[in-house]
């Protein structure tokens, strides 16, 4: 609930409203353009809404503001198919025939096109279909132009996590095929960009939960005792928080490493925190969302073993060895074990740069001039009007929702909806790089047990908001770079990572513009993980842009208002990236008995069996929400077709 009136929050200011309407207007223009190209001829298909959105004179999709990510309207067809109320009308055969059709233009779909072409040769004809008006799936780019400054941000996928653990195929794609120099990429991040201003992290305690709005910052090197003493908590809650971060107690004396991990795997982290650390409701309220970034649920539904493996606090005295729990082969530690070579492999638009590099190599003329290198990609402009060009061997067709895929006549027919029309293309093979749940509805030949396996997981809903500011003097004045908001809608907000790659340099002095990032993970504590994700998704889909906007302005004003922040004056634009279907579902030892089974018996492994000439990719098919797992899934699917 907002403490300030809409007027105080600047909700009436024209700039944001205009940007938001632009987003809607361009989508509508896309549909209008599509409708203007009726019929089945090849020339009709490039008129997809996405092509129109990035056409000459219109903003590029990454520059659209308002509600983005899985944007309004993008799942209408898919939901109608799911609910059995989709009426395709007459399906027009476009006459197009491809070697490969890929359903889903995220990292997995783009990588599948890449691996296929690598195996089949440059003449292979490939069509990539995606329901959204931009390519990259979760790997999404946000752009703002504030005055003369180009501001970039990751609208979804942040960075390449732990490449030392990647498969040779994933690593080879990034470093050899796309030429990304990982050690040099690491050096483009300015680690100390805010340190020289003396900025700190802080927690905002809000009036509704804590009696008054209070921003408490932690000084560098400050002890937990001193930090907690300034929080609006009772003695016992403070002591528990201090204990959480400093404990050296072994709560399971006499047990072996494996026995301790066995207990932790079956104990919700919240139970551990209450029973072993002695945390009460107030102490828990301050840190209960610490697990959301990785799993989308609070401490109530994360296994203590996973919390420990991911570096959450409270396990300092257990003396656990950094090896996986032998009872389940599926902890983050096992798969993402950092080595000295690892670090923050971050592009200014996150892994959208990977998607853009792939498109630049797959689709001729998708970027002007010669193929951009990894250092050129942040400022390279995509020619959206060239993505689906009849003269290209590889084409990307946006705003196209696939509703039927079936083996037919020795090949596969793929039907999709674009701008209200139902169209069909044919292919020798298909890679389903969309989500498992979607495949379960659009591939009618799947046997019932495979359908059930595909619907087992529930993707994690997340929302990443990006707020362009004209300057960040208020942050400098408050001496904070990141504010945790543990009992408000957003989990936290903060200043961006500062990078300089090629001719892109993120501005980073207080009087210059910047992009603030906020994240939230809707869920419903008390349920299983999968039910929490489903409940969170329903809530997310119902939330209008205005509600997100109000919560953004409110949180920032409460924290920074007394340091000079004026939301009406300072905010230049807002993009809310809604990922209702976010992270792939990862199995856990509290909710998924299959975790104790060999991998081939787990639902996600059953779900990825090919059906005739239809192979299954996407990070869902790995049950692992990472860029490299999306690439691994692509490689496996292409091998299935071969
Ligand atoms: C907010 C967020 C942050 C993340 N951060 C990181 C990170 O820092 N590091 C990391 O390694 N991983 C991260 N991940 C996970 C990583 O982004 C994903 O694992 C990976 O990008 C998934 O790629 P994908 O191609 O498998 O799926 P997606 O990116 O979801 O692509 C699937 C595509 O299929 C399309 N589609 C769905 N249905 C249809 C249909 N019927 N017809 C046509 N198209 C359809 C969708 O529109 C979508 O574009 C993050 C994910 C999210 C959501």
Ligand 1 near 438 CB (within 6 A): yes
The DSSP letter of residue 268 is B
Instruction: Compute CA 57 distance to the chain's CA centroid, rounded to the nearest angstrom.
Output: 29
8 burial (CB, 10 Å; 0-12 / 13-18 / 19+) is middle
Distance 68 CA to ligand 1 centre (A): 14
> Which part of the chain has CATH 3.50.50.60?
80-135+387-457+596-642
Ligand 1 near 26 CB (within 6 A): no
pLDDT at residue number 21:
28
Residues in the chain with pLDDT values less than 70: 1-2, 13-58, 324-338
Structure-token pair, residue 278: 């002695």
Ligand 1 near 522 CB (within 6 A): no
Of 106, 115, 164, 128, give the one whose Cα is nearest residue 625. Answer: 106
Distance 289 CA to ligand 1 centre (A): 23
Q: Which of 109, 138, 521 to mutate to test the pocket of ligand 1 (most atoms within 8 A of CB)?
A: 138
Which atom from ligand 1 is nearest to the alpha carbon of 460? 53
Distance 510 CA to ligand 1 centre (A): 34
Task: Tell me the per-residue pLDDT of 441-467, one tens digit each, with 9 for 90 and over.
Answer: 999 999 999 999 999 999 999 999 999
pLDDT at residue number 335:
43
Task: Tell me the per-residue pLDDT of 123-181, one tens digit each, with 9 for 90 and over.
Answer: 999 999 999 999 999 999 999 999 999 999 999 999 999 999 899 999 999 999 999 99
Structure-token pair, residue 283: 């102490």
The DSSP letter of residue 614 is E
Tell me the C-alpha distance between 52 and 100, whole Å: 25
Looking up tokens 């403490």 gives 3
pLDDT at residue number 338:
66
Ligand 1 near 582 CB (within 6 A): yes
Is residue 37 within 8 A of residue 47, CB to CB? The reply is yes
Which atom from ligand 1 is nearest to the alpha carbon of 579? 53
Ligand 1 near 315 CB (within 6 A): no
Of 510, 525, 461, 408, give the one whose Cα is nearest residue 93. Answer: 408
Of 241, 419, 212, give the one whose Cα is nearest residue 314. Answer: 241
Distance 358 CA to ligand 1 centre (A): 15
The DSSP letter of residue 189 is B
Angle between helices 107-120 and 627-641 (to 10 degrees): 40
Distance 125 CA to ligand 1 centre (A): 24
- Looking at ligand 1, which residue's alpha carbon is closest to its atom 29? 137
Q: Which of 102, 106, 355 to mutate to test the pocket of ligand 1 (most atoms within 8 A of CB)?
A: 106
Distance 419 CA to ligand 1 centre (A): 23
Tell me the C-alpha distance between 122 and 120, whole Å: 7
Ligand 1 near 161 CB (within 6 A): yes
- Looking at ligand 1, which residue's alpha carbon is closest to its atom 50? 157
pLDDT at residue number 192:
87
Looking up tokens 């690892």 gives 342
Which atom from ligand 1 is nearest to the alpha carbon of 619? 26
Secondary-structure class of domain 80-135+387-457+596-642 per CATH: alpha beta
E-strand spans in 210-326?
A: 214-217
Ligand 1 near 224 CB (within 6 A): no
Ligand 1 near 138 CB (within 6 A): yes
Ligand 1 near 126 CB (within 6 A): no
Structure-token pair, residue 497: 């990572």
Ligand 1 near 619 CB (within 6 A): yes
Q: Collect all residues with Cβ–Cβ distance below 8 Å to 579 and sequence separation of at least 6.
A: 69, 70, 138, 156, 461, 462, 463, 464
- SS3 of residue 323 by DSSP: coil
- SS3 of residue 144 by DSSP: strand
Structure-token pair, residue 476: 């400098």
- Looking at ligand 1, which residue's alpha carbon is closest to its atom 30? 137
Distance 618 CA to ligand 1 centre (A): 8
Distance 320 CA to ligand 1 centre (A): 34
């Amino acid at each position: 609930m907002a403490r300030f009136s809409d007027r105080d929050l600047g909700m009436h200011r024209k700039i944001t409203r205009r940007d938001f309407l632009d987003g809607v207007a361009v989508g509508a223009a896309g549909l209008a353009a599509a409708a203007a190209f009726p019929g089945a001829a090849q020339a009709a298909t490039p008129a997809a809404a996405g092509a129109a959105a990035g056409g000459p004179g219109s903003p590029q999709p990454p520059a659209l503001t308002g509600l983005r990510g899985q944007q309004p309207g993008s799942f209408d067809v898919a939901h109608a198919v799911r609910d059995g109320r989709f009426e395709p009308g007459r399906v027009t055969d476009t006459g197009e025939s491809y070697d490969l059709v890929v359903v889903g233009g995220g990292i997995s779909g783009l990588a599948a096109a890449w691996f296929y072409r690598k195996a089949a040769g440059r003449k292979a004809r490939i069509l990539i279909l995606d329901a959204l008006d931009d390519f990259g799936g979760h790997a999404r780019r946000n752009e703002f132009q504030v005055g003369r400054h180009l501001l970039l941000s990751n609208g979804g996928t942040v960075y390449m996590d732990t490449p030392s653990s990647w498969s040779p195929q994933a690593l080879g794609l990034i470093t050899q095929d796309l030429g990304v120099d990982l050690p040099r990429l690491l050096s483009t991040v300015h680690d100390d960009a805010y340190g020289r201003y003396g900025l700190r992290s802080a927690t905002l305690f809000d009036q509704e939960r804590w009696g008054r709005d209070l921003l408490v910052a932690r000084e560098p090197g400050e002890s937990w005792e001193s930090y907690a003493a300034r929080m609006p908590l009772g003695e016992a809650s403070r002591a528990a928080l201090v204990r959480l971060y400093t404990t050296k107690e072994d709560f399971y004396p006499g047990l072996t490493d494996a026995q301790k991990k066995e207990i932790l795997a079956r104990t919700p982290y919240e139970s551990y925190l209450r029973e072993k650390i002695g945390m009460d409701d107030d102490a828990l309220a301050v840190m209960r969302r610490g697990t959301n970034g990785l799993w989308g649920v609070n401490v109530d539904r994360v296994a203590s073993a996973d919390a420990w493996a991911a570096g959450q606090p409270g396990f300092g005295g257990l003396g656990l060895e950094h090896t996986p729990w032998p009872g389940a082969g599926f902890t983050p530690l096992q798969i993402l074990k950092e080595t000295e070579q690892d670090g923050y492999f971050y592009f200014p638009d996150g892994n959208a740069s990977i998607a853009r590099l792939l498109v630049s190599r797959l689709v001729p003329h998708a970027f002007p001039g010669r193929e951009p290198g990894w250092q050129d990609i942040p400022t390279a402009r995509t020619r959206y009007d060239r993505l689906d060009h009849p003269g290209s061997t590889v084409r990307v067709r946006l705003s196209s929702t696939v509703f039927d895929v079936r083996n037919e006549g020795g090949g596969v027919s793929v039907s999709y909806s674009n701008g209200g029309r139902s169209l069909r293309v044919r292919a020798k093979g298909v890679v389903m790089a969309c989500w498992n749940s979607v495949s379960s509805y659009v591939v009618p030949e799947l046997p019932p047990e495979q359908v059930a396996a595909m619907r087992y997981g529930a993707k994690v809903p997340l929302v990443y908001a990006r707020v362009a500011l004209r300057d960040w003097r208020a942050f400098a004045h408050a001496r904070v770079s990141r504010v945790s908001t543990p009992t408000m809608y957003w989990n936290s907000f903060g200043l961006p990572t500062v990078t300089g790659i090629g001719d892109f340099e993120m501005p980073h002095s207080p009087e210059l513009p910047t992009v603030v990032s906020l994240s939230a993970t809707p869920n419903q504590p008390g349920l299983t993980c999968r039910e929490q994700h489903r409940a969170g998704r329903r809530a997310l889909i119902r939330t209008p842009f205005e509600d997100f906007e109000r919560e953004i302005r409110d949180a920032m004003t409460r924290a920074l208002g007394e340091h000079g922040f004026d939301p009406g004056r300072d905010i230049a634009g807002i993009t809310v990236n809604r990922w209702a279907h976010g992270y792939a579902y990862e199995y856990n030892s509290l909710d998924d008995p299959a975790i104790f089974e060999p991998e081939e018996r787990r639902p996600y492994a059953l779900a990825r069996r090919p059906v005739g000439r239809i192979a299954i990719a996407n990070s869902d098919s790995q049950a692992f929400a990472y860029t490299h797992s999306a690439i691994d899934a692509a490689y496996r699917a292409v091998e299935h077709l071969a």
